[in-house]
Structure formats: structure tokens, C-alpha cells
Amino acid sequence: MKKFLLIPVFVFSTVVTFAQSAYKADVAKKADAIEQKIIAWRRDFHEHPELGNHEFRTAAIIAKHLQSLGMEVKTGIATTGVVGILRGGKPGPVVALRSEMDALPVTERTPVAFASKVKTMYNGQEVGVMHACGHDSHMAMLMAVAEILSSMKSELHGTVKFIFQPAEEGVLPGEVGGAEEMVKEGVLENPKVDVIFGMHIVSNIPVGTFISHSGGTMAAVNDMQIIVKGKSSHGAAPWSGVDPIVVSAEIINNLQTIVSRNINLTENPAIVTIGAIKGGNRSNIIPETVEMLGTLRALSAEDEKMLITRVKQIATKTAEAQGATAEVTIPYSSHYPALYNNPALTTQMLPTLQQTAGAANIALGPAATASEDFSFFAEKVPGLYIFLGGMPKGADAKTVAMNHSPDFFIDESAFTLGVKALCNLTLDYMASKAK
């Protein structure tokens, strides 16, 4: 009986392998054929960037494209989000693919002909607006994936949900948005998503390559506010007051011991940063209060909880020891959980990336202390988030302008590889369930 059963299993496995090779070749051909269209979409988005929750022109272009492909399209999700649903001709899982849509309040300095000249008001100041993090590239690539997979609709073993998300870079105080809001509004339901893939282009990773990571991949982030209250006095008589500036300096120094003494650095990195301190307005007046703003980053829920606890302990007790008080608010205005790449899914899909780009062009890199609100999706369903190289060949990774820089630059030859990867991840995952 065992020998008899081995024959059909082997035959089926061989058929699936041949089928996968065939559709990968088809995907590659179609991606290469629309490369100039992808570049044109990207350049248009780049020249007309919009900040989070204001991606109205962007969303309209995306929705029109998805509708032209015959998809069921939903708009206005989490303010400006767009979702396209592609139902395949055969039963199978629901695979979600996500791209961000928003730009940053950055004034562009790149010399490209399609550089952004857009300006807007942000936090009361006139600023430039720029796609300085590659979201223009992500949208163009996902639009191409939608076009390719739509052309294969009858052969799809399942459903693809294309999620175009607003406000990944955050929102202004008082607003809501981003992945968290999309999840609250049910973007992972109807139909219920089984797995989600995301991709981010990076300016200091060589073009033609991917980097992935299993487990905690990008950091949880909490911003924080610490208000230290002392007693104002003349600068010539500090003994008559309680100096909140000195207390704040002690708090800042003591906070650094959290990473050096409380975090197991052999397992996970963590960050405690004070990015702003405001107090006083004259050289000879000791102020009554000082405000500090900062960020906490960790790669696990346990470390995140510990960071918050220790910051509150250190700030309040240090202030108390000096006769002052400290009020700690965490999170102050924003919080993203750690982005967790499902280990089983990461292992399962690694061969797909190797077959798409070549095994030598895939690396399992370290975790990053930057944050990404894709984490809200990956909290709910198994997720895999990968990094696509966008650095031109011959460039130096140590000197290129990083994401969020006014000089951020991406090699557009990376786009077709990104398109192929997202298509193949989708099709291979569906094929694994079809078996």
C-alpha cells in the first residue's frame, strides 16, 4: 500500500512543479512587457505626492485602474484607502497584497525631471512634499501585479485582495488613519484574508536583491512625553527653587541604562531616544517645567512592555529624588506594534524568492529598529514583509541617501523584480493550498 501511494504523490508533485515553472515564466514575460508602464505610473505619483489622509488624486488613479481590470473596488476606507478584490476561477485561499500611498513632508533635492515641486502646510509651516520613502514605487508595482494576476484570473486558485493604504507615515494630531484604521474598518474581512504579503524598496540595498527576516522584523514604536515640574527661581539663587532642567538631564542619562542594563542585547535590540527638550526662555530664570519628547523601540511585546515600565519608573523616581515630579505619557500620540514575520510562512516562501531573484540574491538580514504599520495587518493574519533593493549598481551603501532623505533615489530597474516576486508569492502560496 505504501509503495502504491508514493506514485500518485510523486506525479502530482511533479505536475505542480512544472505548473509553477510555467506560470513563473508567464509572470516574468508579462512583467517585462509592462516595465515602461510601471515606470510611468511611478513617475506620475512621484511628481504629484500627497500626504497621509489626503491621497485623493492618488486613490482616484488606483481605483480607476483596478476597475478597468474588472475588479470589485472599494474606496474611502480609512479616509482614502482603496481595496480591489480579484476572485479567481478556482477555489482557494484569500491572499492580501499591500502598498502604502502617502508621501512625506520633505522638500525634494533630486535632479530627476519628475521631481516633486508640491508644497503644502504641515504643522503650521509651509513644507515641500516628496515620495521620499518609495511608496510611489510600491503603488506602481502593485498596480502592475493587479494587471498581471487579472490576466490569469481563470487559473487563480483563490482570491487576491489588493490593499492600497493611506497614512503609513502617520497622521496629524487628532486624526486617525493608516493600517490600524483599515483593520478596524474590516479590510481583512469579507472575504476573510488568510495571509498577507508586503514589500518595501530600500535605497541602500543593491538592485536585484531581497532581504528578509523571520520573527520580529521591524520595531514596535511608542512615542512619549515626559513633563518635569520643579519650582521656578532666579538663576542666581538656584537653592530657592527646584531646577527641572537639571532633573531632566539626570532623567535623560538614567534612561540610557535601560538599553545597556535591562535589555538582553544578545537576543533583541532596543532604542530609548529623547528627541526634543523644551524648557525656559531666559538665561537667568530657572523655569517651572520642562517637556521632553522621545521614542521607544523594541522587537517583542515583552521588551516593549518592559521599556514602558522602566521609563516611567526612572523618570518619576529620579524627579522625586530631586524634589520634582515627572508626568509620563506613553504612547503620547502614536503606537505601532512590532512587525512580526510569521516564521513558518517565511520558511515556506523563501524558495519562491530564491527562484524569482536567484538564491545568491536573497539574504536573511538582521531586524530593523525602524517601524512599519504593516504590523497591524500581521497581528491579525500570518504576514511576510520583505525588502527590495533599489540601490544602483556600483553605488556605495554607506554613502547613498537613505529613505526619508531629500536626496532619496531609487533605481527603476528594480521594479519588475518586485512585481515578479509579489506575483510569484501569491501564486505559489495558492498552489501550496491547492495541493
Integer Cα distance of 409 and 412 in angstroms: 9
Integer Cα distance of 139 and 99 in angstroms: 6
Integer Cα distance of 210 and 363 in angstroms: 6
Q: What is the DSSP string of 353-405?
A: HHHHH-GGGEEE---BSS--TTHHHHHHS-EEEEEEEEEPTT--TTTSPPTTS
Catalytic annotation present for 336: yes
Q: What is the DSSP string of 32-86?
A: HHTHHHHHHHHHHHHHS---TT--HHHHHHHHHHHHHTT-EEEEEETTTEEEEEE
Which member of 100, 304, 372, 412 is catalytic?
A: 412
Which member of 336, 340, 385, 429 is catalytic?
A: 336
Give residues with Cβ within 8 angstroms of 193, minimum separation 6.
94, 95, 96, 161, 380, 381
Catalytic annotation present for 327: no
- What is the Cβ-side half-sphere exposure of residue 128, based on CA atoms within 13 angstroms? 17
Hunting for cell 502614536 — which residue is that? 334
Instruction: Tell me the CA distances in angstroms from 337 to 68, 77, 298, one per residue in order.
Output: 36, 21, 9
Q: Are 431 and 16 in contact (CB under 8 A)?
A: yes
Report residue 209 as a C-alpha cell: 536583491
Integer Cα distance of 130 and 123 in angstroms: 16
Alpha carbon of residue 82 to chain centroid: 17
Distance spanning both ends of the chain, measured CA to CA? 21
The residues annotated as belonging to the active site are 336, 412
